[in-house]
Each structure stands twice: as C-alpha cells, then as structure tokens.
Structure 1
Amino acid sequence: MHVLVPIDDSDPAMKAVEHAAETYADGTVTLLHVINPRTGMYGDEALYAYEAILESQQEAAADLFERASELAAAHDCDVHTESIIGFPAREIVSTAAEEDADHIVIGSHGRTGPSRVLLGSVAEQVVRRAPCPVTVVR
C-alpha cells in the first residue's frame, strides 16, 4: 500500500504523520511538502523575492521532513520525502494520481464558519478531488 501524507508545519499535519506511521507502517509512506511561494511584488523585485522565498521555504522543508521522519521512525515506519512547487491542493491530488497512491492522510486545520469559506481548505479540496480514499486527521 502506498500512502501519501501532505505536510506543512502545523500540528494537524504532524498528527497525520503519526496516524499514517501507526496505521501503514508496513506500506510505503511518502511525505509530500508543497512549496507555494507567493509575492505581491512585480518586475525585478518579484524575481528576487521569489528566489529568496523559495530558498527559505526549501530550507524550512528540510527541517520539516527531519521532524516528520523522526515522528514516523518512533513507530518503526520508514518514509520517503518529496518537495514540489505549486498550489497545495492541486499538487497533492496530482501527485497522488501520478504516483498511484492508494490512500492520502492529511491534517485538517479545523477552520470553521466564515474563515473556511473565505480561505478555503486544502484538506477539503483534496477530499473532493482525490483519486483515492482520504483520511483527514484533526
């Protein structure tokens, strides 16, 4: 079984890692971090800002993978890591399809009411568009 676990630096994401490690320790668990650098600048400033943001987020992703891998190792689960650039929900669904994932385990940020409607929820978009079953961990 191949399980895809999208992660960011949130507590729900780390709980999703633990859930996947406990439940699918005998399978293949892939931790996926989507880097989504956004800037509000234009021209040369935008290019410089994009590169600086991208570099910073890639460094943060390495730390994030280290922390998540340690959580998984505590449950005797080996993980693979993958970092890509793009819009999170779209990239998660696309990666699950391309890698023929059997299951996605994703953390929920627990937004409710107007903030969920205005901001949207990556987990909700993934649930609606995923090519495989999805478990949302709170």
Structure 2
Amino acid sequence: MARQLLVPMDDSEPARAALEYALSVIPDAEITVVHVVDDLEAGYGGRPPATAGGDRTEDEPEFFADVHAIAADYDSTVETAVVEGTTAEAILEYAADADVDGIVMGSEGRSGVSRMLLGSVAEAVTRRSSIPVTVVP
C-alpha cells in the first residue's frame, strides 16, 4: 500500500520545493496538495464561503495548475483540495480526517524576532502533529 502524504501549499517557492521533495524522495506516495484559505481572508476578503463540509470544490487557486504541472514533470499525479480555517489547525484537521501517513511542507526560513512575532505555520504543525512532519527549507 502506498504512503498517503499531505503537502500544504500556498503560492510560494518553499511550498513548491516541498512538493518537489515529496515527489522525488517518495515517488510511490499518494499525494494530496491542500491549500488553506484563512477564515478572516474568506470572511473579509470577498471570497465565497466554504461548503458545509469545509472543502471547496470551485474557485481553486490558479497555482494548482502549476501543482499539476510539477507532478507531471515527475510522472505523477496529485489530488488537490481547498479548505477554510486557521492555517495550522486546518492542516492538522485535514491530515487527521484523511488519515495521512505524513506531512511534507515548506518553511519560509524565518528566524529571530520575525519568527517570534509572526509565528510559523510549519513550526505549529510540527509541534502539534501526531504524524511525521518533514519541513523542507
């Protein structure tokens, strides 16, 4: 049975690096790429609300086309999903609901005061996850 991996994505280079890492290091994994729309962004940013289950099937981010192209470069395919919530919590909830074996995510590489003030989604996921988390710089 193939490993189930979750790759949280935004439109950033660290997130793309995490996807490429997952595709190259664990080529037989079944990968789901999830994008989290922050509750405040959805509520005040003019985005349509999530469906009752929390998953959104329309209005996917444009960068998902890049996600599928990256997967094709590795002769692979990925599933995609958009969920709404607070980023770290939404990632962990999705991972638990989907019963994934691991999370592979990018890190912005913040340090010092920036990290203390802004926090880090990767750090929050790593600290609170009950499954292995690989952080790709």
Q: Smaller-chain TM-score range?
A: 0.7 to 0.9
Kindly indicate which of the two structures has a greater share of residues assigned to helix.
1
TM-score normalised by length of structure 2: 0.85
Deviation at 1:54, TM superposition (A): 4.5
3-state secondary structure, aligned to 1:131: coil
Q: Which has the larger radius of gyration?
A: 1
Shift, 1:26, TM fit: 1.3
2:74 maps to what in 1?
75
Quote the residue 1:124 is aligned against.
123
Residue 86 of structure 1 is matched in structure 2 by: 85
4+ long deviations beyond 6 Å: none
Q: What is the aligned length?
A: 127
For 1:62 and 1:118, locate their aligned partners in 2 and report how far apart those are by CA, in whole Å: 28
Q: Percent identity?
A: 41
Aligned partners of 1:69, 1:23: CA distance in 2, in Å?
A: 17
CA separation in 2, counterparts of 1:78 and 1:35?
23
Which residue of 2 is the match for residue 42 of structure 1? none
5+ residue gaps, structure 2, are 50-57
- RMSD over aligned Cα, in angstroms? 1.9
Query: Is residue 2–residue 28 contact of structure 1 (8 Å, CA) maintained in 2?
Result: yes
2: CA distance, partners of 1:12 / 1:68: 13
Structure 1 unaligned spans of 5+: 40-46
The match for 2:54 is: none
Residue aligning to 2:7: 5
